[in-house]
Structure 1
Amino acid sequence: MGVEIERKFLLSGEDWRALGEPVLLRQGYLCSDPVRTVRVRIEGEAGVLTIKSKSTGATRGEWEYPIPLPEAQELLDRLCERPLVEKYRRRIAYAGFTWEVDEFLGENAGLMVAEIELPSEDAQFEKPAWVGQEVTGDKRYYNSSLIRFPFSQWTTP
């Protein structure tokens, strides 16, 4: 079984914008049930199908499979729940880890988060100055939640 141990944070300041190369991601959900999600993503010229289990703390099961780009596009266009999640992602190396910084578009414009994948839940890491408040356990920030309750509809982040 694949395992993902990930922590999520809001951003603080704008210094991250000068780091990493932004890549457009388009993703949609074939299933956005809180117990399990099935996601289709196009990142650059690559299609990926991802299955994730419910989170326990910062850990959950994760299985990823490459799929042909035309099939990924067709799934996004014809079968995925709406709205799609679109965002620019920057991968930024810092103190031995890679941070993924997402700047959301469309109905989630204005939302910006940083995620870090860790080898264990108790792994120590250094936060860059542009990483702010942790939101790991807040389900509103799950990408699968953003299709049902987009950031543009929130009254308070």
Structure 2
Amino acid sequence: MTDRPLEIERKFLLRKLPDLEHVPSVEIRQGYITAPQDTTEVRLRQSGEGHFLSVKGGAGLVRSEREVTISAQQFQLLWPETTGRRIEKTRYKGQLPDGLTYELDVYAGSLERLFTVEVEFPSEANANAFSVPDWFGKDVTLDKRYRNKSLAVADHETIKALLNG
């Protein structure tokens, strides 16, 4: 057993965008302090008016995650350290018919045609038994290219391949 908080989630591309007209959304910008090859990721995130520092470890379906709220001033002080390792997106947070929450990301900038959706689960068994809605596309949970840390540093050719893949 670990005393580290765990995040159990699956990530998918979208087959088609659902109706998002009444789904709450927030603008997010995030950057990474750690280098892409580091196994632990340290992330700064501004989500609406909130500012956060997160530390994530591991890979795949189950990862450790710790997040703390920081001030806007602390965020601005650290933000320059993320130059060259940033993404921007709009996150829509909605509910699936089975009661699970989804987070659908619509990326901006060089990733503007990328759409992903994540669902967090209470256990690995729930994650593996998940009935995927028809608007979800390919499961990319284990594909490191679709991790936000990887997307934040992806070059033009990689982005092109992801958008066309």
The Cα of 1:15 is off from its aligned counterpart by 1.9
Provide Cα deviations, 1:106-156, integer angstroms capped at 9, x if missing partner.
121111000011111121333333212111111110000012215773324
Percent identity over paired residues: 35
Task: Give yes or no for contact 1:29–1:37 (8 Å, CA) kept in 2.
Answer: yes
Whether 1:23 and 2:29 are equivalent positions in the alignment is: no
Give the 3-state SS of the residue equivalent to 1:100 in structure 2. Answer: strand
Whether 1:35 and 2:39 are equivalent positions in the alignment is: yes
Give the 3-state SS of the residue equivalent to 1:74 in structure 2. Answer: helix
Residue pairs, 1:1-150, within 5 angstroms: 1-32=4-35, 33-55=37-59, 57-76=60-79, 78-94=80-96, 95-123=98-126, 124-150=129-155
TM-score by length of 1: 0.90
Following TM superposition, the consecutive aligned residue runs of length 4 or more in structure 1 with deviations greater than 6 angstroms are none
Give the 3-state SS of the residue equivalent to 2:20 in structure 1. Answer: helix
Aligned residue in 2 for 1:154: 160
The Cα of 1:21 is off from its aligned counterpart by 1.9
Task: Give yes or no for contact 1:111–1:151 (8 Å, CA) kept in 2.
Answer: no
Alignment root-mean-square deviation, CA: 1.8
Distance 1:104 1:4, change over 3 A: same
Task: Give yes or no for contact 1:29–1:39 (8 Å, CA) kept in 2.
Answer: yes
Letter in 1 for 2:46: I
TM-score by length of 2: 0.86
Task: Give yes or no for contact 2:32–2:85 (8 Å, CA) kept in 1.
Answer: no
1:59 and 1:150 map into 2 onto residues whose CA distance is 27
Distance 1:29 1:12, change over 3 A: same
1:150 and 1:100 map into 2 onto residues whose CA distance is 25
The Cα of 1:82 is off from its aligned counterpart by 1.2
The Cα of 1:17 is off from its aligned counterpart by 2.8
The Cα of 1:69 is off from its aligned counterpart by 1.8
The Cα of 1:16 is off from its aligned counterpart by 4.0
Aligned pair count reads 155
Gap runs ≥5 in structure 1: none
The Cα of 1:22 is off from its aligned counterpart by 2.0
Distance 1:93 1:148, change over 3 A: same
Q: Greater strand share, 1 or 2?
A: 1
1:81 and 1:51 map into 2 onto residues whose CA distance is 18
